[in-house]
Amino acid sequence: MALPKALTTPPPPVSNVLLTFPAPHVLLITLNRPASLNAIPSRQHAELDALYRWYDSEPHLRAAVLTGSGRAFCAGADLKEWDARHNVPSSSAPESKKEESWTTAGFGGLSNRVGKKPVIAAVNGLCLGGGMEMVLNCDIVVADEEKARFGLPEVTRGVVALAGALPRVVRTVGRQRAAEMALLGRMYGAREMEGWGIVNFVVKGDVVGEAVKVAEEVAGNSPDAVVVSREGLRLGWEGVGPVLGTEMLATGMYGRIDGGENMKEGVRSFVERRKARWVDSKL
């Protein structure tokens, strides 16, 4: 893995993940357990959380894309690991068999992530359970028209989507559609999820390439403005009213960029009719 010279620190080690940098300021994260449909084992949640924290702390990086290798984006939790752990009597289970919960950032370090910078999902195939929980907390979703399949099948296996998806899917698609998804456990195609407001872009073919283009578009904007705009969206997502949310943003994070170098550059580039030359964000 060739690291951009502008990085201040190397990324933390993460098992079963490939890291690449396909465009300036863009990080591509590829889940890489294709034989297991990129199911995420318990030990990997904290590692992915650390990766996203590193991404947020690296000034050079401005957008991240998450995808999977093989025919799945992510099929959720590793049910073979779960079965082995939960079918051993707790009194006799070795330490390695005991449940390892994810961090406050949730499944895959992402399903409950607050974060600072955007994450774009490139859904290349099966996106089920925990995979769907991660997607519901991504900022932008790009999906393969033919191969992407979405769902929360937990109820068909006697478990519950407990990593943040249930309250989020209600806000995204409304109560009845959310109930259909969560209580029936069905799978849905990319076009249907686009109609429900979960998927932004449906593409034929190179879904990762399209997601990287979207990430490049994000990275081409002011990194300060992207971070602060995302924070404003998060305040609304968390249920803060428009007036209070705007006031919190204006007196909080916005004050840190008001009149700053990137703001001045953006206005100056408009006046001079040229492309803006951003500096890395100090937020």
Separation of alpha carbons 130 and 162, rounded Å: 9
Residue ranges of E strands in 140-256:
140-144, 149-151, 187-189, 201-203
Give the residue carrying structure tokens 């992530």.
Answer: 113
What DSSP state is assigned to residue 273? T
Give the residue carrying structure tokens 């790009």.
Answer: 142
Separation of alpha carbons 114 and 188, rounded Å: 27
Q: Are 124 and 148 in contact (CB under 8 A)?
A: yes
Separation of alpha carbons 75 and 78, rounded Å: 8
Look up 133 and say whether it is catalytic: yes
Residue 201 forms beta bridges with which residues? 142
Separation of alpha carbons 1 and 7, rounded Å: 13
Q: Which of 47, 81, 133, 210 is catalytic?
A: 133
Query: How many helices (H) does the chain have, and how many strands (E)?
Result: 10, 10
Of the CA atoms within 13 Å of residue 74, those in its CB half-sphere come to: 29
Q: Are 222 and 262 in contact (CB under 8 A)?
A: yes
Q: Which of 47, 58, 154, 210 is catalytic?
A: 154
Separation of alpha carbons 91 and 99, rounded Å: 13
Query: In this structure, is the dihedral angle defined by the CA atoms of residues 187, 191, 195 and 199, taken in order, positive or negative?
Result: positive
Q: Tell me which residues are annotated as active site.
A: 133, 154
